[in-house]
Chains A and B, each alone.
Chain A
Amino acid sequence: MQHLTLSNVARLASTLWEALLGSALTLDQEPPIAARSRGQIAIIHISGGWSGTVLIDCDNELARRAAGIMFSSTPALVGESEMQDAVAEITNMLGGHIKALLELPCSLSLPSIIQGQDFTARIPGSRVLFSAHLRHQTNRFTITVLQRTSTAAKAA
């Protein structure tokens, strides 16, 4: 739990990004100023000795580029399902790395991908620990880690 910090998660994400996609991410100190249209968010849950959620917010251009590299395809020819699979794969790997940081017995759910322009996401019963705002060239990529605060879901 003590290793679950913004800097460690940003470093893990950048290492993963570089290994998968060939170039590193840089950490921005501030969130993006300009609002942008939504792309994809991916959500994966960690349960066990520590319970919480990792949420990745990624614009479509970045998802398309990642899918192009991961599936050895031209980004322009990448379909929506491939973009979703690429973001799901990245989320799954990042979730696994974050789980390892916790040094507690935990398990991961499958990622869920929400894609669209006009939606809001709420995670009741959780509090935000931190958000890491990362950048790949001109594209933004935000990782938010939330910790479960309620016991309702466990009790159900």
Chain B
Amino acid sequence: MPTTPAVSPTPTTTAPSQAQRDVINSKLVVPFMNSVREVFAKMAKVDVKVSPPHFKTKPGSTYEVCGIIGFSGGITGSVVVSFSDAAAEKLVEAFAGMPLTRNSPDFADAVGELANMIAGGAKPHLGALASISTPNVIIGSGYTVASPTNTPCLVIPCSSPFGDFCLEVSINPRN
């Protein structure tokens, strides 16, 4: 049986330090920016515009529909694709080719698949061997998605004709 490791409390501030800012560099962010554009262009015929990323400094509110993919191996972290209800329904319809209601399991599957494709499209360009997880799909209201506060989170705002959404990238590269 494994021994219990000592607790090393994580810092509670959410503003990233310079060292943390250096961790998430263009090598880790650009692949996600490219992937989100490509996935929606190819799979949903939707033109997505990506705005300059910024660090998430407060837990803040997340949109109502989120697909979360974990990374492990050469890099660890997660990417959250977060949509408003309205944008999610329309983008999923464009992706699936049919309207899907928010409560349908197929709706969650489609959101998960979009997150999977975006993460999968970025993965080969991250400069490290990594595995991606199955997607988790969270649907609701008034909830937040957070990573440990010692991991910087970069928000990549995206806009589409169907509404805005964003990617939240929290990655710790391993040296």
Contacts and interface: CB of A to CB of B under 8 A. Distances in A.
Query: Which of B113, B123, B138 has most A Cβ within 10 Å?
Result: B138
Given A81-B149, A152-B113, A118 B140 contact: yes
Contacts, number: 184
A45 to B, nearest CB: 3
A112 interface: yes
A109 B72 contact: yes
Contacts of A108: 72, 76
A121 interface: yes
B133 A119 contact: no
Contact of A85 (B9, B80, B108): B9
Interface residues of A, number: 56
Interface string A54-78: 0000000000000000110000000
A20 B144 contact: no
Nearest to B134: A125
A120 B134 contact: no
Contact-residue bracket for chain B: 35 or more
Given A43-B68, A156-B123, A119 B140 contact: yes
B9 A96 contact: no
Given A71-B12, A97-B2, A124-B109, A109 B71 contact: yes
B144 to A, nearest CB: 5
B73 A47 contact: yes
Interface of A: 12, 15-16, 19-20, 38, 43-48, 51, 53, 70-71, 79-82, 84-85, 88-89, 92-93, 96-97, 100, 107-126, 148, 150, 152-156
19 contacts: A53-B134, A70-B7, A71-B12, A81-B149, A89-B10, A93-B4, A96-B5, A112-B78, A113-B147, A114-B143, A114-B146, A115-B146, A123-B137, A124-B134, A126-B134, A153-B134, A156-B117, A156-B120, A156-B121
